């Protein structure tokens, strides 16, 4: 029972991180109609932006490093939107997929040129201390990561449901033409959407770097594939659905690791996700016809 | 008072040609509508009616032609959201509501161009008074409403923007006969509020009863144009649309 609760906690921590990246993927796909394969590498650049910030201003702590991650990822996301995605608007989805994949490869190898191909140590922005919550034991870093990611997810949910631009975002996701004909500047909202998705990835990335104590130019690969799969499994009708599937994936992985074997972790997790698609090809929560 | 050439028309379409790839959909259409008028474009499926509407809205780019608002503003230079902000609202074919959003959120988005939230809230309240059933269902997902209710939301959504010109694309399509009667009564009522309406319809009998002026569109060209009562008497219209039906 203790192992079960412990693995649930571990799963929530990793799953909430997948959820932040997956939600960014889903925002880009639903609103801009682009499979933004560079998004996980925007996450990676955000991680290094936080690292540089923390090393430049050692007394800024976690908050300043996160601000660095937010700005670094946000600016990069905006630049990719304007220079690669926007000029290809209206083209086939494969065209933008290949273009953003190209950007992803450039970012990974560009960063590897600067910092080297191996993981580099991340500044200890939080103590390594353990917290005991009943039978479950987590580190301060893990608890902080879960809290930060859940806050980011809540923020996006409030944003798309409670604000004027957020409503316009959902309107574009379902019917871009009707949204435009009701006064929504679609190009502007697309830019805002990418900046929001990138900035939240940047914040989460600093937290993840702190959690594992290392950053790597290729960290995006791990998150990218999982986030992309979560988006497909959830469908693009509800952004919150994508986050829910990602958190479920994290828990599933942790349970397989705890009870079966860590080497079977990805195999079992992806088998379950693909199984869902077999029975619900439009995703667990449905998809818009596009 | 209408078409006297003194005031410029509210909307003037001149020599419009639109094609999808190599296939022409609209070929040299000219028409106009003056402030406060209700004009209807009749035509069968595929005649090019929706194409005209979407081109006015800026959603399609024409091959040739001009579209002028107030005689001066060239709409072909504008993007869709800019055209809407000049006071043109749309009731799309098949409603096209935001199906996962609530009735209230659909109406809020209808008022997107109005930045003053209190103005939008007042207009939405007016809509809920006019359509009490929508008021009862304000927090319901719009995709769960009946066809007639969805059409009311689509019309209310357009009205919340406070338009000068309403473009209505087949508002009676797919509705029960009793609801169709309500919709045309409502069209008449909106027009009486001073809002000009350019409507596209296949239901010629009902449309000709409410319209001031009618155009008949066949394979992308206008083949008849005149006061609705006159067009209703034309043989071509009788044969195609009014003959044989009770």
Cβ atoms of B174 and B206 closer than 8 Å: no
Work out the minimum CA distance from B121 to partner chain A, whole angstroms.
13
Q: Give chain A's mean pLDDT.
A: 94
3 state SS of B15: strand
DSSP state of B14: E
0.95 exceeded by the pTM?
A: no
**Contacts with A157 from chain B: Cβ below 8 Å:** none
Chain A residue with minimal CA distance to B110?
A: A182
DSSP state of A122: P
Cβ atoms of A201 and A148 closer than 8 Å: no
Chain A residue with minimal CA distance to B161?
A: A182
- Residue A174 contacts B, CB cutoff 8 Å: yes
Cβ atoms of B173 and B204 closer than 8 Å: no
Distance between CA B160 and CA B150 in Å, rounded? 15
Residue-level pLDDT at B4? 53
- Residue B89 contacts A, CB cutoff 8 Å: yes
Residue A45: which of A27, A21, A70 has the closest Cα?
A70
- The tens digit of pLDDT for each residue in B110-160 reads 999 999 999 999 999 999 999 999 999 999 999 999 999 999 999 999 999
3 state SS of B102: strand
Cβ atoms of A224 and A39 closer than 8 Å: yes
Higher pLDDT, A154 or B235: A154
Cβ atoms of B48 and B25 closer than 8 Å: yes
Distance between CA A142 and CA A12 in Å, rounded? 10
- Which residues contact residue B215 at a Cβ distance below 8 angstroms, ignoring those fewer than 6 apart? B31, B39, B40, B41, B42, B222, B224, B225, B231
Q: Give chain B's mean pLDDT.
A: 92
Cβ atoms of B37 and B212 closer than 8 Å: yes
Residue-level pLDDT at B245? 45
CB nearest to B98's CB, from A174, A185, A238:
A174
Residue B38: which of B184, B220, B205, B230 has the closest Cα?
B184
3 state SS of B16: strand
CA A90 to chain CA centroid, nearest Å: 25
Does ipTM exceed 0.90? yes
Cβ atoms of A138 and A5 closer than 8 Å: no
- Residue A221 contacts B, CB cutoff 8 Å: no
CA dihedral angle for residue A83, residue A89, residue A91, residue A96, rounded to 10 degrees: 40
Residue-level pLDDT at A247? 96
- Residue B144 contacts A, CB cutoff 8 Å: no
E strands within B119-236?
165-169, 196-201, 213-218, 221-227
Q: Do A182 and B113 touch (CB under 8 A)?
A: yes
Q: What is the average per-residue pLDDT within A229-235?
A: 92
pLDDT at B244 over 70: no
- The tens digit of pLDDT for each residue in A89-119 reads 888 889 999 999 999 999 999 999 999 999 9
Q: Do A178 and B98 touch (CB under 8 A)?
A: yes
The share of chain B scoring above pLDDT 70, in percent, equals 95
Residue-level pLDDT at B59? 96
């Amino acid at each position: 029972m203790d192992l079960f609760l412990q693995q649930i906690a571990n799963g929530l921590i990793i799953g909430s991180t997948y959820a932040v990246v997956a939600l960014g993927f889903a925002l880009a796909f639903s609103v801009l109609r682009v499979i933004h394969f560079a998004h996980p590498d925007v996450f990676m650049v955000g991680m290094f932006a936080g690292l540089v910030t923390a090393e430049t201003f050692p007394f800024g702590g976690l908050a300043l490093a996160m601000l660095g991650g937010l700005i670094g990822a946000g600016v990069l996301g905006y630049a990719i939107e304007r220079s690669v995605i926007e000029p290809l608007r209206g083209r086939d989805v494969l065209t933008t997929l290949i273009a953003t994949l190209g950007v992803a490869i450039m970012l990974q190898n560009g960063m590897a040129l600067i910092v080297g191909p191996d993981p580099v140590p991340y500044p200890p922005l939080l103590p390594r201390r353990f917290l005991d919550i009943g039978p479950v034991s987590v580190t301060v870093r893990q608890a902080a990561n879960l809290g930060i990611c859940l806050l980011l997810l809540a923020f996006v949910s409030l944003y798309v449901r409670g604000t004027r631009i957020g409503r316009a975002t959902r309107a574009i996701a379902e019917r871009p033409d009707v949204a435009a004909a009701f006064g929504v500047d679609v190009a502007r909202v697309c830019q805002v959407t990418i900046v929001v998705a990138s900035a939240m990835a940047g914040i989460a990335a600093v937290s993840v770097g702190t959690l594992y104590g290392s950053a790597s130019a290729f960290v995006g690969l791990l998150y990218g594939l999982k986030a992309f799969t979560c988006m497909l499994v959830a469908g693009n009708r509800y952004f919150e659905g994508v986050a829910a599937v990602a958190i479920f994936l994290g828990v599933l992985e942790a349970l397989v690791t705890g009870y079966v074997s860590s080497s079977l972790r990805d195999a079992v997790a992806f088998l379950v996700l693909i199984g869902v698609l077999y029975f619900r090809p439009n995703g667990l929560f449905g998809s818009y016809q596009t | 008072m209408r078409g006297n050439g003194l005031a410029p028309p509210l909307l003037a379409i001149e020599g419009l040609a639109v094609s999808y790839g190599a296939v022409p959909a609209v070929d040299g259409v000219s028409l106009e509508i003056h402030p406060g008028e209700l004009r209807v474009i009749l035509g069968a499926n595929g005649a090019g009616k929706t194409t005209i509407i979407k081109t006015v809205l800026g959603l399609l780019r024409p091959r040739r032609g001009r579209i002028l608002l107030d005689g001066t503003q060239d709409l072909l230079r504008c993007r869709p959201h800019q055209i809407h902000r000049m006071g043109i609202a749309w009731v799309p074919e098949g409603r096209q509501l935001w199906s996962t959003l609530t009735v209230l959120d659909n109406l809020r988005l209808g008022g997107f161009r109005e930045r003053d939230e209190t103005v939008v809230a007042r207009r939405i309240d007016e809509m809920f008074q006019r359509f009490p059933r929508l008021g009862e269902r304000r927090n319901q997902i719009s995709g769960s409403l009946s066809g007639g209710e969805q059409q009311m939301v689509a019309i209310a959504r357009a009205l919340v923007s406070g338009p000068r010109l309403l473009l209505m694309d087949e508002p009676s399509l797919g509705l029960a006969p009793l609801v169709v009667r309500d919709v045309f009564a409502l069209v008449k009522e909106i027009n009486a509020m001073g809002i000009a309406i350019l409507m596209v319809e296949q239901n010629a009998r009902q449309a000709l009863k409410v319209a001031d002026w009618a155009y008949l569109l066949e394979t992308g060209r206008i083949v008849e144009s005149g006061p609705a009562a006159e067009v209703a008497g034309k043989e071509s219209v009788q044969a195609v649309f009014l003959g044989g039906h009770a």
